[in-house]
Amino acid sequence: MAVRSTFPAGLALDAHKQQACGAPIIELSQPPRVTLALDQGSGYDAEPVVTVGDTVAVGTLVARANHLYASALHAPLAGTVVAIGMHEAAVEGGRGVCIVIESDGSGRVDDRVRPVQSAYSLSPEELIQCLRDAGIAGLGGAGFPTATKLVSARAGGTQTLLLNGAECEPWICSDDALMRCAADDVVLGAFLLHRASGAGRCVIAIEDDKPEAIAAVKGAIGRRRADAQRDDDLTLAVVPAMYPQGAERQLITTITGIEIPSGNLPAEAGVICQNVATAAAVARWATLGEPILTRVVTVTGGGVVQPCNVRAPIGTPLSALIAAAGGYRSVPLRLIAGGSMTGRALPSDEVGLTKAMNCVLVATQDDIGSRLGAVESPCIRCGDCSSVCPAGLLPQQLHRAALADAHDALRHLGLRDCIDCGLCDYVCPSQIPLTDRFRDARRRLNAAEATAQKAADARERHELRTRRLQEAATAEQQAFESVRNRARQPGDDSAGGTN
C-alpha cells in the first residue's frame, strides 16, 4: 500500500544513507568496559541498584526504573562495577551519572536471562510488565519506555499501532539495516506489541527509498501469515521519502489522516507509534529472554573510513564503534549523536552508546560545515521557513516573539508544537539558528511558568494561613467575651448555689 504524505510541508533532503547501509550489520564483540548513562535518552534517570565493587553478569539489572519515563538498565557484559558517578555522557549538557562496568572476560550470563516459554500466552498486562522489566524503550531516538506508552494506549482504547520504519533523517540507516537483516524479528515484535496495545490494526510504515527493507518486511509478513495461520491484521504502508516523515505526529497524519491536536497525546487520538527497532528488541526478549543489552547503530559521516551499521552493547564507548567503522579518516569537526538535522553534539568519543542513539555521525567540514561559522543576518521575511514547517507553524513570527521573550505570544504561536525538526533553520537564507532559538525560548518559557506557578502556590498558602489566623483570633475573642459576660452576671445559678 503506497500512501501520500498529508502533513503540511516537509522537504526532500539528501539522504547520505548509501555508504552505510550496503554492508551487513557488524556484530561488535564485548568491549573491555562499558559506561551506562542512567538517563538513556528519555531525560529521566534510572535508580542504580548496584554499588561499586558488585559483580554483575550479562543481563543483571543494574538500575531500576523508579519513574514512568525512565527505563530499567541491565549489564551488557559480565564483570565488576568499578564506578558510579558523573561522566561524559550522551545527555544534554554532556555530563550525567553513569555506571561503569569493567569486563572480566567470562561472558557469564545472568540466570534470569533465559528464553521466554510463553510470550504468546501472556496477558497484555503481563506482557507490558515484562517489557518494563526488560527495560524496553523507544530505540528510534526518544528512549521513551515502551511499557508506559502501551499503558496509555490501553487506557485510551487505541485503534492503530503504527510501527515507524520511515527513518527519514539524513545519514541514519540503522532501522533500514535491521529491517533488511532481521525482518522476521520486526514482524514478531510487531505482533507482540499489537497484542499488548490492544489496537485493532497494526501498520508498518517504511519510506519508499528503502526498497530492500520493504521487500524483506513484505516477505516476513507473508511468512508469518503462512506459518502461524494467523490473521494479525498487520499491513505494510509505503510512504514517500520526505523529511520529517518519521516524526511521530507527521507519520500518524500520513497514515491515518488524523492530525493530533496541540497538547494531546497520540494515544488520545487512538494511535500509538513504536519504532521498528523497538519491535525487534521485543522479539529478542521473546525469543532469547534478553533485556535490551545491544542495539544497532549507524556509524557514518565523512570522518570515518568505512561507514557501517554495528550491533554493539549499550554503553560501548563510541571510539570502539568508530574503530569498527575503520577508524577516523580525518580529524572530525563534530561528533553527533543522531542525524544531521536533529542530532546532538557529543563531548567526546568516550561517551557510552545509549538506547536512544541510533546514529553516530562523525561529521567533517564538508558534511555540515556550511552552517558552522556562518554569520547570521537579519530576517528578510522571505517566508521560506513557514512553507517548510511540518507542524504548520510560523517560525518567522515565533522568532520575533522568542527574541522579545514574549511568553503569551510564544504560547499563542504554538512554540510547544515545534518538533525541533530543524527545517526552518535549514532553509533560512539569513542563516538564523531558528531551532536553537526555539529550544532556548521553550526552556525560558518553562522556567517562567514554573516560577509563576510557585508564586501562585505561595499566594494561596499565605492567604489560607492569614484566614486561619484571623478565624482563630476571632474565636479566641468570642471565647474571652463569653467568659467575661458570665463573670459579670452576679445572680446566676452557680454563683447563687455556693453562696
Partner 1 sequence: MSSDAIVTAVLVAAALAVTLGVALGWAASRIEPDADSLVERIDALLPQTQCGQCRYPGCRPYAAAIASGAAEIDRCPPGGAATVRALAALLDRSQRPLDPAFGVPKPPQVAWIDEDKCIGCARCLPACPVDAIVGAPRQMHTVITAQCTGCELCLPPCPVDCIELRPVPAVSLRYRQPRAA
Which residues of the shown chain bind partner 1 in the complex (CB under 8 A)?
Answer: 42-43, 69, 92-93, 138, 142, 144, 149, 152, 248, 263, 265-267, 272-273, 416-420, 439, 442-443, 446-447, 450, 454-459, 461-466
Nearer to partner 1, 10 or 59 (CB): 10
Nearer to partner 1, 371 or 461 (CB): 461
Nearer to partner 1, 149 or 295 (CB): 149
Single-letter amino acid, residue 51: T
Q: Residue 430, class by beta-carbon neighbours within 10 Å (0-12 exposed, 13-18 middle, 19+ buried)?
A: middle
Q: What is the largest CA-CA distance in the chain?
A: 113
Rounded Cα–Cα distance for residues 149 and 68 (Å): 10
Tell the smallest beta-carbon distance from residue 107 to partner 1 (Å). 35
Tell the smallest beta-carbon distance from residue 466 to partner 1 (Å). 7
Query: What are the cell numbers at 113?
Result: 536471562
Phi and psi (nearest 5°) for 225? -60, -40
Tell the smallest beta-carbon distance from residue 88 to partner 1 (Å). 16
Kindly write down the DSSP assignment for every residue of 251-275, as one continuous string. Answer: HHHHHH-PPPPTT--GGGGTEEEEE
Closest residue by Cα to residue 218 from 184, 247, 258, 244: 184
Tell the smallest beta-carbon distance from residue 269 to partner 1 (Å). 9
Nearer to partner 1, 57 or 282 (CB): 282
Q: For residue 111, what are the contacts with CB-CB under 8 A and spacing of at least 6?
A: none
Tell the smallest beta-carbon distance from residue 145 to partner 1 (Å). 9
Tell the smallest beta-carbon distance from residue 187 to partner 1 (Å). 23
Q: Residue 498, class by beta-carbon neighbours within 10 Å (0-12 exposed, 13-18 middle, 19+ buried)?
A: exposed
Single-letter amino acid, residue 44: Y
Nearer to partner 1, 364 or 435 (CB): 435
What DSSP designation does 352 have? B
CB 407 within 8 A of CB 413: no
Nearer to partner 1, 171 or 438 (CB): 438
Nearer to partner 1, 263 or 378 (CB): 263
Single-letter amino acid, residue 269: A
Residue in the block written with cell 478565624: 471
Tell the smallest beta-carbon distance from residue 376 to partner 1 (Å). 21
Rounded Cα–Cα distance for residues 347 and 141 (Å): 18
Closest residue by Cα to residue 314 from 34, 26, 92, 109: 34
Nearer to partner 1, 149 or 194 (CB): 149
Tell the smallest beta-carbon distance from residue 414 to partner 1 (Å). 10
